[in-house]
Amino acid sequence: MSFREDLVKIVGAGKENPELRDSMQKLNKSFVFRVGSEQPFTLVLNTEKLDVIDGELPGSSATISASDDVLSAIFSGSLDPIKAFMSGQMKVTGDVFSAQKLTEIAKKARK
């Protein structure tokens, strides 16, 4: 399963779980993901929409770049995102602090 597929599952869990949906909507942000050589996609988390869409949404809070394996490991909880960032396995431009909150959402979705 690819990272994008994992992310779609997390969004689906948020649509079904009121507590998780509330956490996602409170972020009120969007995040562009650049995964290897794939086309970029955007995670949208706000009161109007919880979705993963093709392409880059202008004005996104942060852009996160890494390999599929690294992002999957981070969102599954097997790789610390700070270590991935500090070691250069993942790059984040823009609002780094909001991007950090994504791992908290992924953790809630795994429960």
CATH assignment of the domain containing 91: 3.30.1050.10
Output the pLDDT for position 83: 95
Instruction: Tell me the pLDDT tens digit for each residue of 78-108.
Output: 999 999 999 999 999 999 999 999 999 998 8
Q: Print the domain residue range for 31.
A: 3-110
Tokens of 85: 């960032």
pLDDT by residue (tens digit) across 36-62?
Answer: 999 999 999 999 999 999 999 999 999
Three-class SS state of 7: helix
